[in-house]
């Protein structure tokens, strides 16, 4: 069911069970669905049918990012990730954007590319034209393979043919079959079509088909997000909103100019994207590959986001990248928690899911640049690191906050220091 309000004030102060109850109330989770979240969610037998040589399960934290408004609708965002600060940062940035309308997103459509690569072609440019002449036959043959997809308005839509001259194999002819995969990620559908067409491509070109598989550079399947924030929303106790806004723009420009910085900058974007992709059972490796290839499409690796100031002085951020995610098939359909994630999100199409994901990626980037342009990353990370250290040191729950505060104030976060401080805490409480 749609979430009426994604604000969950003080969520971080609640116990895990209290958080679960708050989310369940907002999203209409049943008792059995709540048990899925607390009991691991994936039966070993199901896992055994998903991949090979299964010997067990590896749980990761399942969290909820709150406060999001995307296209004027409220969302609670499921995120599966092990790194601290990600969920809190995304939630806080979403909170800052609420008064200015949240995130506006769009989607270019669910088009995937199946590639067929041909070598040993004597007349590659002649072969290119001959392949284009046979477009209708290729589309008809491909669409015979998936009548269900075609009946839903999808299927093979078009072909493109490229000649790749700069290759150690000599000229390569690459046929792209453009397929509308609707609400699926689409890998199986497009791979099957590519394999079926290979023999006909060889016959027309006189060459040898060596590869027939989808491309994860899904640049026909772009998700876009935009956010506009007045400087006042960005101000902190130490820094004005103007200072923060200018710092974010400056940090973006450095990332766009320096591939070494852009790599870390874009990793921060993926900090927000990957956890939702994982939570919904989608292929996060494909999303990562497509995003980084898209960042280098100009011939130089650059920032995936842009940050600038509009004529009113508002900070405006945008993000555009390939987003090949689905809500049917694969692990999305197999994994119980993937289905539960889709229920929490309340999404009905893959297009909606793609747009949610890119909005969270933009929020995550804004959070990172805001910190970098003001206090730096270590101040916030130190407390999170300290909380991990006290657990490693075996500090009892009742003493953890005191030990964490003491380590952070001294800027000395170590296991042996945590144990030493715990001894002091014991002495104070005896």
DSSP string over 10-50: TGGGS-HHHHHHHHHHHHT--HHHHHHHHS-S--HHHHHHH
Structure confidence by residue, pLDDT tens digits, 113-135: 999 999 999 999 999 999 999 99
160 belongs to the catalytic site: no
How many CB atoms lie under 10 A from the CB of residue 11? Answer: 20
Confidence check: pLDDT of 87 > 60: yes
Mean pLDDT of the chain: 95
- pLDDT of 40 reads 82
**What is the rounded distance in angstroms from the CA atom of residue 219 to the CA atom of residue 397?**
49
Q: Are 23 and 62 in contact (CB under 8 A)?
A: no
pLDDT in tens, 258-303: 999 999 999 999 999 999 999 999 999 999 999 999 999 999 999 9
Residue 202 has pLDDT above 70, yes or no: yes
The Cα 42–Cα 15 span in angstroms is 23
What is the model's pLDDT at position 430?
73
Mean pLDDT for 24-29 is 96
In this model, does residue 1 exceed pLDDT 80? no
Contact 221, 108 (CB under 8 A): yes
Provide the pLDDT for residue 19: 96
Q: What is the mean pLDDT of residues 343-359?
A: 98
Q: Which of 9, 18, 83, 405 is catalytic?
A: 83
pLDDT-derived band at 237 (thresholds 50, 70, 90) equals confident
Exposed/middle/buried for residue 162 (C-beta within 10 Å: 0-12, 13-18, 19+): middle
317 by Cβ neighbours in 10 Å (0-12 / 13-18 / 19+) ranks as: buried
Asked if 273 contacts 355 with a C-beta cutoff of 8 angstroms, the reply is no
Does the pLDDT of residue 401 top 60, yes or no? yes
Q: What is the pLDDT of residue 371?
A: 93
Find how far residue 165's CA is from the centre of its chain.
34
Active-site annotation holder among 33, 283, 320, 352: 283
Question: Is pLDDT at 15 greater than 80 in this prediction?
Answer: yes
**Catalytic residue (one of 9, 267, 348, 401):** 267
Record the tokens describing residue 324, joined without a space.
Answer: 């090949």
Comparing CA positions, the residue from 139, 137, 159 lying closest to residue 150 is: 139
Closest CA to 340 of 88, 81, 41: 41
**29's torsion region: left (phi>0), alpha (psi -120 to 50) or beta?**
beta
Q: 270 is written with which tokens?
A: 């993926």
| Catalytic-residue membership of 267 | yes
Range 370-374, long-range pairs (CB < 8 A, 24+ positions):
370/93, 370/234, 370/244, 370/247, 370/248, 371/89, 372/247, 372/251, 373/243, 373/244, 373/246, 373/247, 373/248, 373/250, 373/251, 374/236, 374/238, 374/239, 374/243, 374/244, 374/247
pLDDT at 428: 86
What is the value of pTM for the model shown?
Answer: 0.91
pLDDT value of residue 386? 84
Residue 72 catalytic?
Answer: no
- pLDDT (0 to 100) of residue 337: 97
d(CA 201, CA 194): 10
- The answer to whether 49 is a known catalytic residue is no
Residue of 34, 200, 343, 381 marked catalytic: 381
pLDDT reported for residue 381: 61
Residues 222-254: b if buried by 16+ CB within 10 A, e if exposed? bbbbbbbbbbebbbeeeeebebbbebbbebbee
Residue 376 pLDDT exceeds 80: no
Give backbone dihedrals phi and psi of 100, rounded to 5 degrees, phi first: -100, 15
């Amino acid at each position: 069911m749609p979430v009426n309000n994604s604000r969950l004030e003080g969520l971080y102060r609640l116990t895990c069970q209290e958080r679960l109850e708050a989310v369940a109330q907002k999203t209409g989770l049943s008792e059995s669905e709540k048990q899925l979240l607390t009991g691991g969610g994936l039966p070993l037998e199901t896992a055994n049918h998903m991949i090979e040589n299964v010997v067990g399960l590896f749980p990761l934290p399942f969290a909820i990012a709150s406060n999001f408004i995307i296209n004027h609708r409220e969302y609670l965002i499921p995120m599966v990730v092990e790194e601290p600060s990600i969920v809190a940062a995304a939630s806080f940035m979403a909170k800052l954007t609420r008064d200015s309308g949240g995130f506006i997103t769009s989607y270019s459509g669910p088009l995937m590319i199946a590639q067929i690569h041909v070598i040993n072609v004597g007349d590659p440019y002649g072969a290119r034209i001959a392949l284009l002449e046979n477009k209708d036959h290729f589309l008809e043959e491909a669409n015979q393979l998936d009548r269900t997809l075609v009946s839903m308005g999808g299927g093979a839509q078009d072909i493109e043919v490229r000649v790749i001259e700069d290759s150690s194999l000599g000229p390569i002819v690459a046929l792209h079959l453009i397929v509308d995969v609707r609400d699926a990620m689409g890998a199986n559908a497009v791979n099957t079509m590519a394999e079926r067409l290979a023999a006909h491509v060889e016959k027309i070109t006189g060459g040898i088909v060596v590869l027939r598989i989808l491309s994860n550079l899904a640049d026909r399947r772009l998700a876009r997000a935009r956010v506009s924030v007045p400087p006042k929303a960005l101000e902190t106790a130490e820094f004005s909103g103007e200072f923060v806004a200018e710092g974010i723009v400056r940090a973006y420009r450095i990332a766009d100019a320096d591939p070494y910085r852009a790599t870390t900058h874009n990793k921060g974007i993926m900090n927000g994207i990957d956890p939702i992709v994982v939570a919904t059972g989608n292929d996060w490796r494909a999303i990562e590959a497509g995003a980084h290839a898209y960042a280098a499409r100009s011939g130089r690796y650059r920032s995936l986001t842009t940050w600038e100031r509009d004529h009113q002085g508002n900070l405006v951020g945008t993000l555009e990248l390939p987003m090949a995610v689905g809500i049917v098939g694969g692990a999305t359909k197999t994994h119980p928690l993937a289905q539960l994630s889709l229920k929490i999100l309340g999404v009905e199409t893959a297009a909606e899911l793609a747009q949610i994901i890119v909005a969270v990626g933009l929020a995550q980037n804004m959070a990172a640049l805001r910190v970098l342009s003001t206090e730096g990353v270590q101040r916030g990370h130190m407390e999170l690191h300290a909380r991990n250290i006290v657990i490693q040191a075996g500090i009892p729950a009742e003493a953890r906050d005191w030990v964490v505060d003491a380590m952070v104030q001294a800027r000395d976060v170590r296991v042996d220091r945590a144990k030493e401080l715990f001894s002091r805490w014991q002495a104070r409480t005896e």
